Chain A
Amino acid sequence: MSREIPDRLQSRMARVWRSWEALLLAVFIVVFIANSFASPYFLNAWNLSDATFNFTEKALIAFAMAMLIVAGEIDLSVASIIALASTAMGLVMMAGFGTPVIVAAGLATGLVCGAVNGALVAGLGLPSIVVTIGTMSLFRGISFIVLGDKAFNGYPADFAYFGQGYVFWVISFELALFAVCALGYTLLLHRTSFGRTVFAIGNNPTAALFSGIRVARVRFILFLLTGVMSGLAAVCLTSRLGSTRPSIATGWELDVVTMVVLGGVNILGGAGSILGVVLAAFIMGLVTFGFGLLNVPGIVMSIFMGLLLIGVIALPRLVRGRAKGR
């Protein structure tokens, strides 16, 4: 009595072709070509490698943030976690510990901060946007209490590797870490049952709960991941800068969210891909780098980034709206 229902209607190719990622790839290619015409210094392996430094740290956080946003939550405290983690690393360094302990302190601080956010959101059921606006002030506030207008300097020489070292030829440690994390998060979100539950929660948290998913636990884990990735970014950034100030990474939370949203993750939850975030990271990096070569000030780049964010999201909506109107 049952008719055969096909597994899928569209072929995989048709899907890929019409995807957000394809649009991003096109934008990426355009930006790349425009850049190589605009500046003779652009098409140089070392220059391109340098260009990656301005997005790898943010992208590390963006991977975890993408999962969090897919689940319908958000974490605006990530930049403040960097500040606090960096401060913790500075304290440990001042106490005379070596690189392994410094790194551990950074990661552990990230984990604790993530646990605080997670406990407030998943445990007490508070809205994440408000909670993380609060912890955003709290975490960076603690850095300010510790450091005031001073700074930590004098990190050990071998600590510099994380932000300045190269794994192989032009491949920096940060770029390698970015690649590994991109792969890891792609698998986690798109290929594991944990990733599937993240999508389910983002689409309909109540139905997910009624399907036997431990919603609070998944949310808590996502905040932990975001915290740890912020700690990891703090290690890289502190190592690259060689110093800690409480104002470190100010405003990064918005860059990270921009990267995630530009990557096609639905800010309302339920949809998105890590590949999109990777492409968005490259686009943002290239634009920044290209403008830099042309001596365009950073703030003008940010205008372009804002226009890109709104434009890329508005365009498909406007086109679809026009089509529907007919």
Chain B
Amino acid sequence: MMRVFKQRETLLALAIVLMTLGIAGRFPGFVAPNNLANVFNDTAPLMILVIGQMIVILTKCIDLSMAATLALCGMVAALLNGAGVPLALILAAAVALGAALGAINGLLVWKVGIPSIVVTLGTMTIYRGTVFLLTNGKWINAHEMTPAFKALPRGVILGLPVMSWIALALIGAFAVVLTRTPLGRAFYAVGGNPHAAVYAGLDVGRTQAAAFVISGALAGLVGYLWVARYAVAYVDIAGGFELDVVAACVIGGISIAGGAGTVVGAVLGALFLGVIKNALPVIGISPFWQMAISGSAILLAVAFNAGRGRAAGRLILREEQRT
């Protein structure tokens, strides 16, 4: 029982619950089921992206191109919609394009051996720029989208929008993938000790490339969801969002050094940021505070992580001899 409490996921969940209750104490409306569903749905894109980023970080890489991939796939989805392509195909195309863009990142890391931070720094501007090339900077607005295109993420099943259900399904699926499949364990092994992974018969580069493909595919999916939900597509969609995603991972206890972290932790990290973002207007604090608060949360989280990592060490003296 003590072990469960020592886990950071439990602590983070506790922090989120306490925060929510604290707000509810003064603004009961915040915990109305309807509003909570809203908060969750609002955070759904971040939660999906965080899964992808987390897998990439597990393998000792980082994907800064996530938001740009999202924007490009979202724009392509909107354009395909304008061209009269059926929704199912659009969805498939967005995910496939995202996976392809992720594969470009992955191949550059795997086959060319460029550090991931450099690769994705470059592809981030390339992908974002491509959105501009596709449209010449024009916006695609709600009236240019078909009703079916816009309806999918907003449809409500059992009180929760479809977008939330998609997020929940992906969280569940990836929790299983990471803990119960060879590929999932390979992500941990490759990031935790790349040298040893070779001895265990794992291909480090290929595993990293696989992580980028997953991250890209998820960004592609979110690209469609984002554009459909907000019913607008433009070059700067989700600009700078890649850093929110990394921030959520850090808060969720994903070790930036690779090899450690859980899906639940990462998702809770996203939820933490989501609750703060949605709570600020409710409790009457200017939304301009949000950035500073999430910055402080990142710093606290990383300091907290480091504090517990240091405890382990080699002990030579016997128990009774220690002073």
Contacts and interface: CB of A to CB of B under 8 A. Distances in A.
A174 B88 CA distance: 55
**Size bin of chain A's contact surface:** 35 or more
Interface stretch (A3-11, A123-131, A210-218, A221-229): A123-131
Contacts of A310: 108, 114, 118-119, 122-123, 126
Contacts of B296: 134, 138
A267 B292 contact: no
A137 B123 contact: no
A134 B256 CA distance: 13
A144 B289 CA distance: 7
Interface in B77-119: 108, 112-115, 117-119
B128 A299 contact: yes
B122 A307 contact: yes
Interface in A230-279: 246, 250-251, 254, 257-258, 261, 267-268
Contacts of B302: 126-127, 130-131, 134
Contact of B118 (A147, A149, A307, A313): A313
**Majority secondary structure, B binding face:** helix
B303 interface: yes
Chain A CB within 10 A, most for which of B64, B128, B290, B299 = B299
Interface in B239-293: 240, 243, 246-247, 250, 256-257, 286, 288-293
Interface residues of B, number: 45
B247 A133 contact: yes
Interface stretch (B129-137, B154-162, B173-181): B129-137
B298 A141 contact: no
B124 interface: yes
Given A133-B247, A303-B126, A141 B299 contact: no
B294 interface: yes
A172 to B, nearest CB: 27
B118 A267 contact: yes
A136 interface: yes
A177 interface: no
A63 interface: no
A152 to B, nearest CB: 15
A27 to B, nearest CB: 16
Contacts of A178: none
B295 A302 contact: no
Nearest to A148: B288
A103 to B, nearest CB: 25
B63 to A, nearest CB: 13
A297 B115 contact: no
A2 B306 CA distance: 49
Interface of A: 120, 124-127, 129-131, 133-142, 144-145, 147-149, 246, 250-251, 254, 257-258, 261, 267-268, 297, 299-300, 302-303, 305-307, 309-310, 313-314, 317-318, 321
Nearest 7 A-B pairs (CB), nearest first? A141-B292, A137-B295, A138-B295, A303-B129, A141-B291, A134-B298, A306-B125
